Amino acid sequence: MMKGLKKWRLFSLLAVLTVFLAGCGQEELSTLLPAGQVGRDQFNLLLLSSGIMLLVIIVVVAIFLVALVRFRRSKLGEDHIPEQVEGSHKLELVWTIIPILLILLLAVPTVYYTYKLGDVSAMGAVDEDGNAENLVVDVTAKLYWWEFEYPDLGIVTAQELVVPMDEKVYFNLIAADVKHSFWIPAVGGKLDTNVENVNKFYLVFEKDSKDLKDGVFYGKCAELCGPSHALMDFKVKTMPRAEFDRWVTAMQASADNQVVANPEGQALFQQSCIGCHAVSGVGESGAQGPNLATFGDRNRVAGFMDHTKEDLIEWIKYPQEYKPGNKMPDFDGKLSDKELDAIAEYLMGLSVE
Partner 1 sequence: MSSVAQKKGFGATLWDWLTTVDHKKIGILYFLGGGFFFVLGGIEAMLIRWQLHIPNNDFVSAGLFNDLITMHGTTMIFLAAMPILFGFMNAIMPLQIGARDVAFPFINSLGFWMFFFGGLFLNISWLFGEVPDAGWTSYASLSLASEGHGVDFYAIGLQIAGGGTLMAGINFLVTIINMRAPGMTYMRMPLFTWTTFVASAMILFAFPPLTVGLFFLTFDRMFGGNFFNHEMGGNTIIWEHIFWIFGHPEVYILILPAFGIFSEIFSIFSRKRLFGYPSMVFATVLIGFLGFMVWAHHMFTVGLGPTANAIFAVATMAIAVPTGVKIFNWLLTMWGGSIVVTTPMLYALGFIPSFVMGGVTGIMQGAAPLDYQLHDTYFIVAHFHYVIVGGVVLAILAATHLYWPKMFGTMLNETLGKVTFWFFFIGFHMTFLIQHWLGFWGMPRRVWTYMDGQGWNLANLISTVGAFLMAIGVIVLVYNAIVTSIKNVKVANDPWGDGRTLEWAIESPPIYYNFSATPLVRGLDSVWIEKMEGNESGLTPAEPIKDIHMPNGSIIPLLMSFGLFIAGFGAMFRTEESWGLPLLIFGLLWTFVSMAARSLQDDTGYYIKKEEILRDLKRKGGQN
Could you tell me which stretch among 50-58, 265-273, 276-284, 336-344 binds partner 1 (CB under 8 A)? 50-58
The Cα 151–Cα 328 span in angstroms is 26
Supply the minimum distance, in Å, between the C-beta of residue 48 and partner 1: 8
Binding of residue 218 to partner 1 (CB under 8 A)? yes
Could you tell me which stretch among 55-63, 240-248, 259-267, 286-294 binds partner 1 (CB under 8 A)? 55-63
The Cα 42–Cα 47 span in angstroms is 9
CB-nearer residue toward partner 1: 50 or 294: 50
CB-nearer residue toward partner 1: 246 or 307: 307
Cβ atoms < 10 Å from Cβ of 348: 19
Binding of residue 178 to partner 1 (CB under 8 A)? yes
Binding of residue 170 to partner 1 (CB under 8 A)? no
Q: Which of residues 72-101 bind partner 1 (CB under 8 A)?
A: 72-74, 76, 80-88, 91-92, 95-96, 99-100
Residue 136 backbone dihedrals phi, psi, to 5 degrees? -120, 135
Three-state secondary structure of 242-293: HHHHHHHHHHHCCCCCCCCCCHHHHHHHHHHCCCCCCCCCECCCCCCCCCCC
Binding of residue 350 to partner 1 (CB under 8 A)? no
**Binds partner 1 (CB under 8 A): choice among 5, 13, 17, 57:** 57
**Binds partner 1 (CB under 8 A): choice among 195, 259, 260, 274:** 195
- Do residues 235 and 219 touch, judged by C-beta distance below 8 A? yes
Binding of residue 40 to partner 1 (CB under 8 A)? no
Q: Which of residues 102-161 bind partner 1 (CB under 8 A)?
A: 103, 106-107, 109-111, 113-119
Binding of residue 297 to partner 1 (CB under 8 A)? no
Among residues 32, 14, 34, which one has the least CA distance to residue 24?
A: 32
The Cα 106–Cα 219 span in angstroms is 29
Q: Which of residues 231-250 bind partner 1 (CB under 8 A)?
A: 231, 233
CB-based contacts of 255, cutoff 8 Å, min separation 6 = 280, 281, 282
